[in-house]
């Protein structure tokens, strides 16, 4: 939560000091270049291959061999990503030329994008090594430090935007410097926790090591699937660059707001589930794995569905409170609101995919999510091209959401026979039960927003902020209370977590 809230503050810095235009479009396009490969070498893809392998090594051979494996991966990842970064810096002009052809029409925008991307390329190195650290810590049941580590990234960018922008021309360069500093901070923040486990970094490289080969062989299919997703982002960026100025920024702002509940409830549950899933699979406890998956999925949906309906009912106060300051005007708010509403609908699919994919990774089956990912991306690109003309940038958001539901449907249809069924009818009843409850609560929130006038252009930031807080409290408490009356078990899990926290 701390990390994601700071992420929103980071986006506020963008909105207040840079608004939505050619400079922010250039930054977001440049940031996507190293970010494309970060998804291949870090985070989901790497964790899917490393954590099950590291857990297996730790369980069967002990800490010594497991830490040796970690050192081997640290060394190999450093050399590989450093080489990729150097190559990327050299080839950036070519990448930018083909990624954002529409920027040629705006004087200086292409050159600025190239410069920003070159400054941010080392992010790939820092994030890849940070993912190795995260994988080790997660394998020991430590989730707090890795989850808080991105706060260092966000703090660096917030600091750069507020205090360093005046020293650069154009000021947006300060945000690229913040990316560089923040990436190194996200890695450094996790190092003390590694040392407390008894880990010591000792450079070690053996390309013939079977364990290293196994990790990269598991990564390969997942990387192909992720590469397909990145191709989709590449195409979406290309198409957005052909639209009016600000289009890419609106998509980015809306996506970041949607990603807050997804990260808190979808990614968080999925991240905690993977070590548990992989341990149960290693013990050949398929029934236990099925129960753990269904519990994780239900809990994720119990949290994500109210987030969807709250966003849909309170979109204006959310966007207005967070972004509508400084150079970010009401017209920008309206555009971002429309994007956010579309993305919010996709949260159901996105969260389900996050948890479901972890089961395949725990089974050391990275090929299935890869194949489904390729199908999904192909559908997304086709939808983007079809929907962009009539709906402009909103069409790109629609394509992403529809493709997300395709991904979810195909993954579930493949997983179902492996478990001998996953109780779809019972799960459907559960989903419709919480959807019905949330429709009523959302209707109340819409009436409240209409009565207070917080959706209108003249509404002040203070009023919007106060009403957003009131609406959030007025939504969460009745949701939990009525869910308890309805006998939904997930409420008990939340109260247990709160008691543990106390």
pLDDT of residue 501 exceeding 60: no
CA–CA dist 241, 246 (Å, integer): 9
pLDDT of residue 380 exceeding 90: no
- Per-residue pLDDT band for 228 (boundaries 50, 70, 90) equals low
- Per-residue pLDDT band for 59 (boundaries 50, 70, 90) equals confident
- Per-residue pLDDT band for 502 (boundaries 50, 70, 90) equals very low
CA–CA dist 410, 402 (Å, integer): 13
Whether 84 and 124 have beta carbons less than 8 Å apart is answered as yes
Question: What is the 3 state secondary structure string of 419-449?
Answer: CCCCCHHHHHHHHHHHHHHHHHHHHHHHHHH
Instruction: Extract long-range pairs of 203-212: CB within 8 Å, 24+ residues apart.
Output: 203/71, 203/74, 203/75, 204/68, 204/71, 204/72, 204/75, 205/72, 205/75, 205/76, 205/79, 206/72, 207/76, 209/72, 211/53, 211/57, 211/69, 211/72, 212/69, 212/72, 212/73, 212/76
- Per-residue pLDDT band for 498 (boundaries 50, 70, 90) equals low
Could you report the per-residue pLDDT of 329-361, keeping only the tens digit for each? 888 889 999 999 999 999 999 899 889 988 988
What ranges in 121-168 are assigned the alpha helix state H? Answer: 123-139, 144-148, 150-159
Whether 276 and 292 have beta carbons less than 8 Å apart is answered as yes
Could you report the per-residue pLDDT of 420-479, keeping only the tens digit for each? 887 777 888 888 899 999 999 999 999 998 888 888 888 887 888 899 999 999 999 999
- Per-residue pLDDT band for 206 (boundaries 50, 70, 90) equals confident
Distance in angstroms between the alpha carbons of the first and the last residue of the chain: 17
Q: How many CB atoms lie within 10 A of CB 65?
A: 13
- Predicted pLDDT of residue 45: 65
Could you report the per-residue pLDDT of 173-198, keeping only the tens digit for each? 999 999 999 999 999 999 999 999 98
- Predicted pLDDT of residue 405: 92
- Predicted pLDDT of residue 500: 63
pLDDT of residue 234 exceeding 90: no
Does the pTM surpass 0.85? The reply is no
Q: Mean pLDDT, to the nearest integer, of 39-64?
A: 75
Could you report the per-residue pLDDT of 97-147, keeping only the tens digit for each? 888 888 887 888 999 999 999 999 999 999 989 988 988 998 888 888 988
Alpha carbon 88 to its chain's center: 23
- Predicted pLDDT of residue 499: 67
Q: Where are the domains of the chain?
A: 1-19+246-502, 22-243
- Predicted pLDDT of residue 462: 84
């Amino acid at each position: 939560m701390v990390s994601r809230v700071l992420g929103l503050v980071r986006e506020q810095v963008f909105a207040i000091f840079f608004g939505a235009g050619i400079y922010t479009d250039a930054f977001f396009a440049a940031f996507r270049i190293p970010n494309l490969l970060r998804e291949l070498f870090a985070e989901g893809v790497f964790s899917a291959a490393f954590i099950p392998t590291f857990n297996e090594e730790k369980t069967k051979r002990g800490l010594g061999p497991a830490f040796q494996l970690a050192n081997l991966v640290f060394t190999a990842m450093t050399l590989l990503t450093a080489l990729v970064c150097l190559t990327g810096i050299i080839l950036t002009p070519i990448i930018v030329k083909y990624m954002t052809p529409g920027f040629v029409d705006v004087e200086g925008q292409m050159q600025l994008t190239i410069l920003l991307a070159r400054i941010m390329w080392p992010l790939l190195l820092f994030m890849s090594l940070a993912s190795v650290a995260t994988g080790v810590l997660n394998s020991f049941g430590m989730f707090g430090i890795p989850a808080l580590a991105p706060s260092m990234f966000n703090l660096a960018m917030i600091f750069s935007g507020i205090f360093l922008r005046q020293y650069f021309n154009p000021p947006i360069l300060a945000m690229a410097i913040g990316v560089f500093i923040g990436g190194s901070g996200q890695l450094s923040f996790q190092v003390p926790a590694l040392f407390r486990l008894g880990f010591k970094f000792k450079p070690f490289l053996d390309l013939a090591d079977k364990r290293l080969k196994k990790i990269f062989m598991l990564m390969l299919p997942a990387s192909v699937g992720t590469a397909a997703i990145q191709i989709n982002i590449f195409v979406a960026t290309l198409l957005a660059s052909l639209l009016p100025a600000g289009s890419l920024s609106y998509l980015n702002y809306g996506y970041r707001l949607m990603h807050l509940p997804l990260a808190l409830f979808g990614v968080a549950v999925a991240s905690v589930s993977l070590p548990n899933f992989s341990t149960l699979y290693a013990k050949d406890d398929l029934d236990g794995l099925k129960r753990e998956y269904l519990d994780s999925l239900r809990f994720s949906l119990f949290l994500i569905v109210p987030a969807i309906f709250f966003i849909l009912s309170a979109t204006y106060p959310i966007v207005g409170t967070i972004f509508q300051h400084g150079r970010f005007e009401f017209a920008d708010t309206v555009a971002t609101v429309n994007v956010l509403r579309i993305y919010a609908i996709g949260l159901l699919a996105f969260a389900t995919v996050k948890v479901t994919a972890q089961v395949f990774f725990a089974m050391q089956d990275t090929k299935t999510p890869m194949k489904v990912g390729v199908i999904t991306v192909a559908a997304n690109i086709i939808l983007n091209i079809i929907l962009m003309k009539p709906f402009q940038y909103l069409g790109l958001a629609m394509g992403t959401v529809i493709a997300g539901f395709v991904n979810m449907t195909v993954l579930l249809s493949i997983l179902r026979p492996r478990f001998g069924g996953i109780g779809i009818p019972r799960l459907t009843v559960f989903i419709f039960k919480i959807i019905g409850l949330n429709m009523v609560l959302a209707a109340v929130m819409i009436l409240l927003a209409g009565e207070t006038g917080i959706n209108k252009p003249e509404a002040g930031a203070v009023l919007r902020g106060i009403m957003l807080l009131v609406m959030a409290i007025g939504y969460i408490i009745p949701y939990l209370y009525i869910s308890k009356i309805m006998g939904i078990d997930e409420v008990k899990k939340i109260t247990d977590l709160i008691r543990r926290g106390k």
